[in-house]
Amino acid sequence: MIGQAATRLQFRTPGRGLTEITREVSAWIDGTGIETGLVTLHCLHTSASLLITENASSAVWRDMVAWLDRVAPEGGYYAHDDEGPDEMPAHLKAVLTGVNLSIPVIDGRMALGTWQGIFLAEHRRAPHRREVAVHLLGE
């Protein structure tokens, strides 16, 4: 029988960087009883995003954040700076990395590779409370 479940998960970020959320999403999926399906995650913010990347080396995370800073640097380039010089670069980084993920669920677990993890990318300098909507459809 096909079923579905949905929730909103909240996370505190320490400021600019990546926060792994794989465990929290996995724990929620475990509680649904759904064994096979598709989980969709949606970040409810315009200056944070979601991504899947290597979860074994923090050097990957630092390199990714540094690359994004080079692609969308802070500075006097932007008309939109209502909340400070890191605001528009944060919006650009969120557009580049995306706010949605879809991951197959097989045997009650997300079908992630050995070194893959789900990360909430905080693109602002200050710590924030972020919310991710999660929906699982399956059986």
CB 35 within 8 A of CB 108: yes
The beta strands (E) that lie in 14-127 are given as 17-20, 37-43, 48-54, 100-106, 109-110, 116-122
Please tell me the predicted confidence (pLDDT) of residue 4: 97
Beta bridge partners of 45: none
Check if CATH label 2.60.120.460 holds for domain 3-138: yes
CA atoms of 83 and 97, how far apart (whole Å)? 21
Please tell me the predicted confidence (pLDDT) of residue 10: 98
pLDDT tens string for the chain (139 positions)?
A: 789 999 999 999 999 999 999 999 999 999 999 999 999 999 999 999 999 999 999 999 999 999 999 999 998 889 998 999 999 999 999 999 999 999 999 999 999 999 999 999 999 999 999 999 999 999 9
pTM for the structure as a whole:
0.95
Please tell me the predicted confidence (pLDDT) of residue 81: 86
CA atoms of 99 and 46, how far apart (whole Å)? 8
Please tell me the predicted confidence (pLDDT) of residue 2: 85
